[in-house]
């Protein structure tokens, strides 16, 4: 991980959720409403599309069921979900949209909501901000009279949208608008940029009544100032086509009553401030959206908390450790375990910690057939571990057979109630039997691909289970099979898209087939149900002549170190690739190509399925870095440095570019001879555009992004995970306090015992050790909170001065645990630290 500036706070954003379903899509009153409506959904950050579902055929109420997760690599203002009707001979038509402002995402976090679709109006599709300066001057005219002159300076804009995938050609109009006047000025057109620097000044005369008597300097009469406003509109110059509206903002001149000079940033707004008349019902969309924002301090700030957490495996008893206490106080929050798992995994401390908490759970397990069947801290840790380290294992083991199942489209329905007319139940049974055999054979033959960490974990579970129930010879298998089959393979078969084994949620018929296969695997993987397996298998298919312990033995005894296999992927179906070695910069040098990467090679093809035009061995890749937008006047560019001539690639959007860089960096991170520096721009017109060096073989002028040689090739940001743990502990501070009180009541103060329900939810084996750990945690939280407060910024928001405290949050607001004072909700202002003045329209 790169070293951060000693005072800088990193803002890291991610978005997770699900596009569940639509209802009554399209206007019911429209005369041309299509009977067979084929729809799909897209997700956009501002106006940049970053995700698209598959097309759902012939339904007004489609069940999409598409999960999504991605890191957000840039600031944004609005998250939008669009529903499109798929066109056959024409372009796709928008049905409606759901737009959520960034500051409102916290209202919907983590829960499903129905959203009414709004019409898609080109004049409301805006993004970006504009930097303005306004000043009121007093002038004496030639005849000696006094008048006011309004100076408006448009300095710059940032974050304007792309037009047809490319930077726009923006210009601005500045108007002084009043009841009886509308004076307009226009800036010059700036070519191919989303962040134009205008720096143009316009003057407007503000007339005064003849009866005006000077009362004070630079003060316009109340009746005049209330009626005047400055309107700034941004447009894209269409040359021969029609100009495209990019957004507007309005500022009342009365803002200058108290200040002679006003300078601020303003968010661009829809035309007419987005006021819409009543429209037809376009339907609704059910969504689950969780937006996470981490304010990550410099690494040194997290050393005390990180050290305390890494000591958890050695704590005696383990229930008094910081990691176990976090699991206790955040028991209702399933996502609380993941940052601890990732942190311990990075430092190779996960297996001893999980072994310790699993032993604690086994001490309270009375029957062997219920071993590891609950939703405990141990099972949640193992679940998350398998999802993190087992993804490549699933790809190698299940992806080929799942691709065959999804693409062959054979019917496997055996329920008489659900059979369609013409279906043959015997043929369906044979189809299902064949699929089950293939899936189970793939699993039993996969021991050589099982990640070593999973093998170590399973071996530890087997030993502890045998020790706890020595009279049961089968418990060593059921302890492992409850995870391998019930929580890993069966879940991946049921929902392959959530493990990136398939690009989209399967259709209803394929989903039913996967459900039947998954249920069979669960039954075969449940040692306690083996006595019933013959009955179940006869109902589903012919008996599967493969003993369950064969698979479990293979998995648990697999101790050889296995290389992680990265699936063949294409993050975007097509990218723009620049011809290698070209020294001239122009559109003709960029070609649309299909890019593919495996753990062995990077290749690009003219079309999917065609022969490779160029193959670059992964072992030859020496660096993968971003390219400055100014190099080619193109966004989302990155470069693959593999020899004398770099490969320049433009991804479809910012998320895809980040994913390509991450994947290519991951597969090449262990290569010998990796570069230490690179050129962030291109070599053109005889010089490097970044450092102006004329030597084309000149070493880079900027340090390469460091790659972390982590175990299992996992790129884990430990500071970010520790910040999330801090946020979780902070939001559950009252429970932490209650645990401390329970420990004190039991042992420290020797006071009267509280009612049982006050501390029955906590595992307190040693109250003194637990009390000591809780006090350490509270002290660390207080220091970290102080670090956040000391690094907070102050911003001017419009005409009001507001102290904006940057604290950790997942829902943009929380109550300060130390002062018990409510902190204002955080918003997009967090991202504009570089600009101390931020504006807002009145």
Alpha-carbon torsion (686, 689, 692, 693), positive or negative: negative
Strand 112-116 to 229-236 pairing: unpaired
CA distances from 525 to 361, 518, 787 (A): 21, 10, 50
**Residue found by looking up tokens 């005849």 in the block:** 143
Non-local (6+) Cβ contacts of 545 within 8 A are none
Mean pLDDT of 544-563: 38
Chain centre distance of CA 370: 36
Strand 146-158 to 623-626 pairing: unpaired
User: Which residue did the predictor score with more confidence, 715 or 127?
Assistant: 127
Q: What is the C-alpha to C-alpha distance for residues 339 and 91, in angstroms, rounded to an integer?
A: 44
pLDDT band at 324 (very low <50, low <70, confident <90, very high): very high
Q: What is the pLDDT of residues 470-491, one digit of tens each?
A: 888 878 777 888 788 888 999 9
pLDDT value for 113 = 93
pLDDT value for 561 = 27
Estimate the share of the chain in helix, then strand, then coil, as percent rounded to the nearest 5.
35, 25, 40
Q: Residue 543: is its pLDDT beyond 60?
A: no
The mean pLDDT value of the chain amounts to 77
pLDDT band at 33 (very low <50, low <70, confident <90, very high): low
Q: What is the pLDDT of residues 505-540, one digit of tens each?
A: 787 788 888 999 988 888 776 654 444 344 334 334
Beta sheet of 48-52, edge-to-edge order:
48-52, 39-45, 78-85, 93-101
pLDDT value for 53 = 87
pLDDT value for 707 = 59
Looking at 152-166, 205-219, 233-247, which range is the least confident one? 205-219
Looking at 210-224, 389-403, 582-596, which range is the least confident one? 210-224
Q: Residue 156: is its pLDDT beyond 90?
A: yes
Looking at 204-208, 440-444, 567-571, 787-791, which range is the least confident one? 567-571
Q: What is the C-alpha to C-alpha distance for residues 128 and 233, in angstroms, rounded to an integer?
A: 12
Q: What is the pLDDT of residues 37-95, one digit of tens each?
A: 788 999 998 878 888 888 887 788 888 888 888 888 888 888 999 999 887 666 788 89
Q: Contact 193/162 with Cβ under 8 angstroms?
A: no
Main-chain phi, psi angles of 748, to 5 degrees? -70, -55
Q: What is the C-alpha to C-alpha distance for residues 812 and 11, in angstroms, rounded to an integer?
A: 13
Looking at 233-237, 449-453, 612-616, 810-814, which range is the least confident one? 810-814
CA distances from 610 to 297, 466, 547, 604, 613 (A): 47, 54, 43, 9, 9
pLDDT value for 152 = 93
Q: Residue 8: is its pLDDT beyond 70?
A: yes
Mean pLDDT of 381-409: 89
Q: Residue 276: is its pLDDT beyond 90?
A: no
Q: What is the DSSP string of 42-92?
A: EEEETTEEEEEPPPB-S-SS-EEEEEEEEEE-S--SEEEEEEEEPPSSS--
pLDDT band at 30 (very low <50, low <70, confident <90, very high): very low
Q: Residue 202: is its pLDDT beyond 50?
A: yes
Q: Residue 236: is its pLDDT beyond 60?
A: yes
User: Which residue did the predictor score with more confidence, 691 or 375?
Assistant: 691
Q: Per residue, what are the HEC states of 372-419?
A: CCCCCHHHHHHHHHHHHHCHHHHHHHHHHHHHHHHHHCCCCCCCCCCC
Mean pLDDT of 367-379: 82
Looking at 157-171, 344-358, 784-798, which range is the least confident one? 784-798
Q: What is the C-alpha to C-alpha distance for residues 156 and 160, in angstroms, rounded to an integer?
A: 11
Q: Contact 754/741 with Cβ under 8 angstroms?
A: yes
CA distances from 737 to 79, 277, 339, 740, 771 (A): 37, 52, 22, 5, 10
Q: What is the C-alpha to C-alpha distance for residues 16 and 633, in angstroms, rounded to an integer?
A: 31
pLDDT value for 813 = 33
Report helix, strand or coil for 206: strand
Q: What is the pLDDT of residues 499-512, one digit of tens each?
A: 888 887 787 788 88
How is residue 487 annotated by DSSP?
I
Q: What is the pLDDT of residues 644-659, one digit of tens each?
A: 788 999 988 888 888 8
Q: Residue 150: is its pLDDT beyond 90?
A: no
Q: Residue 277: is its pLDDT beyond 60?
A: no
User: Which residue did the predictor score with more confidence, 247 or 482?
Assistant: 247
317 upstream amide cis, omega within 30 of 0: yes
Q: What is the C-alpha to C-alpha distance for residues 789 and 297, in angstroms, rounded to an integer?
A: 11
Q: Contact 50/44 with Cβ under 8 angstroms?
A: yes
Q: What is the pLDDT of residues 556-605, one digit of tens each?
A: 433 222 222 222 333 344 666 665 555 555 555 788 888 888 767 889 88
pLDDT value for 223 = 46
pLDDT value for 538 = 38
Q: What is the pLDDT of residues 356-371, one digit of tens each?
A: 999 998 888 888 777 8
pLDDT value for 588 = 54
Token pair listed for 88? 């056959």
Q: What is the DSSP string of 640-672?
A: EE-SSSPEEEE-SSHHHHHHHHHHHHHHHTT-T
pLDDT value for 225 = 65
pLDDT value for 41 = 92
Q: What is the DSSP string of 708-775?
A: ---GGG----HHHHHHHHHHHHHHTHHHHHHHHHHHIIIIIS--PPPPGGGTTTS--S-HHHHHHHHH
Q: Residue 622: is its pLDDT beyond 60?
A: yes
Mean pLDDT of 323-342: 85
Percent of the chain with pLDDT strictly greater than 90:
22
Main-chain phi, psi angles of 269, to 5 degrees? -115, 160
**Which residue pairs, CB below 8 angstroms and at least 24 apart, start in 774-777?**
774/325, 774/736, 774/739, 774/740, 774/743, 775/740, 776/308, 776/322, 777/305, 777/308, 777/322, 777/325, 777/729, 777/736
Mean pLDDT of 184-209: 86
Q: What is the C-alpha to C-alpha distance for residues 376 and 353, in angstroms, rounded to an integer?
A: 14
Looking at 449-453, 719-723, 741-745, 816-820, which range is the least confident one? 816-820
Q: What is the C-alpha to C-alpha distance for residues 603 and 625, in angstroms, rounded to an integer?
A: 18
Q: What is the C-alpha to C-alpha distance for residues 505 and 511, in angstroms, rounded to an integer?
A: 8
pLDDT value for 162 = 78
Give the closest residue to 553 by CA, choosing from 462, 465, 486: 462
**Which residue pairs, CB below 8 angstroms and at least 24 apart, start in 742-745?**
742/767, 743/767, 743/768, 743/770, 743/771, 743/774, 744/771
Q: Residue 201: is its pLDDT beyond 60?
A: yes
CA distances from 389 to 338, 433, 484 (A): 13, 30, 13
């Amino acid at each position: 991980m790169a070293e951060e500036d000693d005072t800088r706070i990193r803002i890291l954003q991610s978005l997770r959720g699900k596009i569940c379903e639509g209802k009554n899509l399209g206007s019911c009153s429209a005369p041309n409403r299509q009977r067979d409506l084929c729809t799909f959904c897209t997700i956009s950050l501002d106006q940049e599309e970053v995700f698209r579902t598959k097309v759902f055929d012939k339904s007004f109420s489609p069940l999409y069921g598409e999960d999504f997760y991605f890191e957000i690599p840039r600031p944004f203002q609005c998250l939008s979900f669009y529903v499109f009707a798929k066109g056959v001979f024409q372009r796709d038509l928008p049905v409606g949209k759901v737009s959520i402002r960034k500051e409102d995402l916290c209202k919907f976090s983590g829960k499903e909501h129905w959203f009414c679709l709004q019409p898609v109006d080109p004049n409301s599709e805006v993004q970006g901000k504009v930097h303005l300066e306004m000043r009121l001057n007093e002038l004496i005219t030639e005849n000696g009279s006094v008048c006011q002159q309004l100076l408006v300076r448009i300095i710059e804009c940032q974050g304007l949208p792309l037009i047809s995938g490319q930077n726009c050609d923006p210009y601005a109009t500045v108007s002084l608008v009043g009841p009886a006047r509308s004076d307009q000025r226009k800036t010059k057109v700036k070519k191919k940029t989303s962040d134009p620097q205008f720096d143009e000044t316009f003057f407007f005369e503000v007339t005064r009544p003849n009866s005006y008597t000077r009362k004070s300097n630079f003060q316009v009469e109340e009746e005049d100032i209330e009626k005047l406003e400055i309107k700034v509109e941004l447009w894209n110059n269409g040359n021969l086509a029609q100009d495209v509206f990019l957004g507007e903002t309005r500022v009342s001149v009365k803002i200058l009553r108290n200040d002679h000079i006003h300078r601020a940033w303003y968010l661009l707004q829809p035309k007419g401030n987005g006021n819409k008349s009543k429209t037809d019902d376009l339907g609704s969309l059910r969504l689950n959206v969780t937006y996470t924002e981490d304010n990550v301090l410099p690494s040194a700030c997290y050393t005390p908390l990180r050290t305390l957490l890494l000591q958890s495996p050695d704590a005696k008893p383990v229930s008094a450790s910081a990691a176990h206490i976090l699991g206790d106080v955040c028991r209702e929050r399933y996502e609380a375990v993941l940052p601890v798992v990732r942190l311990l995994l990075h430092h190779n401390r996960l297996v001893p910690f999980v072994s310790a908490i699993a032993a604690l759970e086994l001490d309270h397990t009375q029957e062997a057939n219920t071993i590891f069947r609950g939703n405990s801290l141990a099972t949640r840790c193992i679940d998350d571990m398998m999802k993190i380290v087992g993804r490549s294992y699933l790809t190698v083991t299940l992806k080929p057979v799942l691709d065959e199942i999804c693409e062959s489209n054979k019917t496997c329905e055996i329920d008489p109630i659900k059979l369609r007319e013409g279906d043959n139940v015997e043929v369906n049974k044979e189809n299902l039997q064949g699929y089950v055999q293939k899936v189970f054979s793939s699993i039993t033959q996969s021991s050589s691909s099982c990640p070593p960490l999973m093998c170590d974990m399973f071996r530890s579970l087997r030993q502890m289970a045998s020790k706890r129930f020595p009279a049961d010879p089968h418990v060593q298998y059921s302890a492992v099979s409850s995870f391998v089959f019930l929580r890993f393979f069966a879940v991946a078969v049921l929902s392959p898209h959530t493990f990136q084994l398939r690009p989209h949620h399967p259709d209803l018929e394929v989903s039913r087939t996967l459900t039947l296969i998954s249920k069979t695997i669960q039954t075969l993987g449940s040692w306690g149900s083996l006595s019933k397996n013959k009955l179940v298998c006869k109902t589903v298919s012919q008996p599967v002549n493969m003993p369950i312990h064969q698979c479990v033995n293979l998995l648990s005894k697999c101790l050889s170190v296995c290389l992680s296999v990265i699936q063949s992927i294409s993050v975007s179906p097509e990218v723009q690739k620049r011809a290698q070695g070209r020294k001239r910069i122009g559109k003709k040098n960029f070609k649309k190509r299909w890019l593919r990467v495996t753990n062995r090679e990077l290749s690009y093809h003219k079309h999917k399925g065609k022969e490779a035009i160029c193959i670059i061995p992964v072992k030859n890749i020496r660096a993968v870095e971003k390219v400055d937008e100014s190099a080619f006047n193109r966004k989302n560019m990155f470069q693959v440095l593999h020899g004398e001539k770099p490969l320049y690639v433009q991804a479809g959007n910012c998320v895809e570019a980040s994913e390509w860089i991450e994947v290519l960096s991951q597969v090449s991170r262990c290569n010998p001879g990796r570069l230490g520096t690179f050129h962030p721009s291109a070599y053109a017109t005889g010089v490097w555009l970044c450092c102006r060096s004329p030597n084309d073989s000149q070493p880079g002028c900027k340090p390469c992004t460091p790659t972390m040689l982590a175990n299992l090739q996992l790129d884990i940001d430990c500071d970010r995970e520790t910040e999330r743990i801090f946020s979780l502990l902070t939001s559950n501070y009252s429970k932490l306090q209650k645990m401390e009180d329970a420990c004190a009541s039991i042992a420290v103060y020797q006071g009267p015992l509280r009612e049982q329900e006050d501390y029955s939810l906590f595992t307190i084996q040693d109250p003194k050790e637990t009390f000591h750990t809780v006090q350490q945690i509270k002290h660390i939280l207080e220091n970290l909170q102080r670090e956040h407060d000391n690094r907070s910024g102050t911003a001017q928001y419009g005409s009001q001065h507001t102290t904006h405290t940057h604290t950790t949050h997942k829902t943009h607001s929380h109550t300060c645990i130390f002062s018990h004072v409510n902190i204002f909700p955080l918003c997009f202002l967090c991202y504009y630290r570089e600009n101390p003045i931020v504006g807002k329209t009145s």
